[in-house]
Amino acid sequence: MDAASKTVSVVIATYNGSVFIEEQLASVINQNFKPIEIIVSDDGSTDETLVLVRSIAKNSEAPIRINVNETNLGFRDNFLKAALSAKGNFVAFCDQDDIWDPEKLERIAKYFKNPNISMIVHAAASLDQSTGKLVKFTQGIRSTGVKPPLSYDPWLTFFGFSIVFRRELLYLADIEARFRDFIVPKEKIAHDRWIVFLGQVVGETAELSLPLVTYRQHATNLFGDGRRSHKGKAHDPIKELDDYITATADMIAVIRDLPDETRAAFPLFDREKAIHFFQRALHQLQQRKQVYVSRDKRRGLLAVVGNIRSGVYRSVHRDAIRWRSIARDLKYCATRS
């Protein structure tokens, strides 16, 4: 089956998005490579969002399916539950307030014929609504190419609007039972972090360095360019480490429970290798925690030195030294009595 015969479903989670939804929908409808459907899942908007979407749907070249949630799900569950109804071979998450380049799906579709690829990600252009400034937002993508499984930091994510993935990822594990978010521990793991986690475990990732979406920065963004912009000033490093430790242990449990049939859809899936990868990451977190629970500055510094010697500060995905982690742990020790 060639790329042209593969299909894409676009999933848009909306909530009071009337200011931007018309422009965003137009940019999706006018794609050179047409989506098989656009699923708009509204989470209880009280503005004109649904009125606008229904009006656009009447004349849309691409079929628009509209779902209105009976109760507010929050964007995480809204995206994932809407995606479960998708019919396309691939699924593209789409925020309500961005603008897609008309070539986005066309360029991504070039990778559809590769059975080893589980997801495709791309760079973006970040638009500051207050200043009109447009800046390339790389997300760490340096060049266009394909990366093997387990090529990313275990806790890395790409923004949802930049991810297109094989629909089969949605059925590997129960979305209702997914683990807590290591960034926002009160919530289940976000839709984009969940898909990136599963995607890099079971297959290759195609990266495109082209900015294929204009990502708006404005006052009502849930997240900005920084993935931690929502955090308050209070910071408990031990609790943060515990949150990461818990989430990473749960990642290992998910991998163990992936069905044996996973390799039928994702030929490169290697369960033992993936478990080992995340076990190493978990061990590193546990060893770093010893720095923070040490009784005094001296013991903390000795723990840092021991971690350096034993390779705790080397990333599991590319064996590079995590200088920022070393600096952070040393800073914590220096401020202790």
* pLDDT of 231: 47
Average pLDDT value for residue range 278-303: 96
**pLDDT per position as a tens digit, 6-22:** 999 999 999 999 999 99
pLDDT tens, position by position, 161-211:
999 999 999 999 999 999 999 999 999 999 999 999 999 999 999 999 999
The token duo for 272 is 């033992």
Under the banding of pLDDT at 50, 70 and 90, the label for residue 215 is: confident
The answer to whether residue 232 scores a pLDDT higher than 60 is no
Q: Which pLDDT band, with edges at 50, 70 and 90, does 131 fall under?
A: low
- What pLDDT shows up at residue 228? 39
Q: What is the pLDDT of residue 230?
A: 44
Q: Check whether 134 has a pLDDT greater than 90.
A: no
Q: How confident is the model at residue 335 (pLDDT cuts 50, 70, 90)?
A: confident
Question: What mean pLDDT is predicted for residues 301-329?
Answer: 96
What is the structure's pLDDT at 129?
63
CA proximity to 164, closest of 1, 2, 3, 50: 3
296-311, pLDDT tens digit by residue? Answer: 999 999 999 999 999 9
Q: Do the Cβ atoms of 112 and 89 come closer than 8 Å? A: yes
User: What pLDDT does 132 receive?
Assistant: 67
**Mean residue pLDDT across the chain:** 92
The residue-averaged pLDDT of 62-66 equals 97
Nearest to 308 by CA among 295, 327, 292: 327
Is the per-residue pLDDT at 32 higher than 50?
yes
CB 207 within 8 A of CB 146: yes
The pLDDT of residue 130 is: 66
Angle of helix 323-334 versus helix 297-309 axis, rounded to 10: 160
Q: Is the pLDDT of residue 1 over 90?
A: no
Nearest C-alpha neighbor of 117 from the set 4, 265, 216, 251: 265
